[in-house]
């Protein structure tokens, strides 16, 4: 029996938009990763990039469960001695809400060149507007 390898055309790729308003972060990241990898399509192949482009709007309205809203901290390091900086979820949400969704989705993608290429197809925006209306993105319902 021969292995079937799908022909991946750029024409097969769609644009999908997800409204993150009220969506739980982890469940939203799973949906994003599945759409980026094309796991919901019959042409899914683990080592090929056959997935869709994903646009996430209202990133600042994503919900974290449990006590993560108060206890979770994001660390950044400047490279200098004592250059560690810790920020809470509220501080990250106020300044750059897309930095809540991007690492969560990145963690659910492969840890190789394919994962890096898939992550370039994810676009996250604060607010309800996005500049990809010309691509006519189809709505993808976010899991609550």
* All structural domains of the chain: 13-64+96-139 (3.90.1180.10)
State the Rg of the chain over Cα: 17
Q: Does residue 104 register a pLDDT over 80?
A: yes
Under the banding of pLDDT at 50, 70 and 90, the label for residue 144 is low
Q: Does residue 4 register a pLDDT over 80?
A: no
How big, in percent rounded to 5, are the helix, strand and coil portions of the chain?
35, 20, 45
Residue with tokens 């607010």: 127
Torsion of CA 67, 19, 126, 119, to 10 degrees: 90
Q: What is the pLDDT of residue 10?
A: 65
Query: What digits encode the pLDDT tens for the residues 53-78?
Result: 999 999 999 999 999 998 999 999 99
């Amino acid at each position: 029996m021969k292995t079937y390898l799908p022909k991946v055309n750029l024409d097969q790729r769609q644009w999908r938009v997800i409204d993150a308003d009220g969506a739980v972060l982890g469940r939203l990241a799973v949906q994003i990763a599945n759409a980026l990898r094309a796991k919901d399509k019959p042409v899914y192949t683990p080592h090929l990039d056959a997935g869709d482009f994903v646009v996430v709007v209202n990133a600042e309205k994503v919900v974290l469960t449990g006590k993560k809203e108060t206890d979770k901290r994001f660390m950044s390091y400047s490279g200098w001695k004592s250059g560690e900086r810790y920020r809470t979820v509220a501080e990250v949400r106020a300044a750059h809400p897309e930095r809540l969704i991007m690492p969560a989705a990145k963690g659910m993608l492969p840890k190789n060149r394919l994962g890096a290429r898939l992550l370039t197809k994810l676009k996250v925006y604060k607010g309800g507007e996005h500049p990809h209306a010309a691509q006519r993105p189809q709505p993808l319902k976010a899991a609550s």
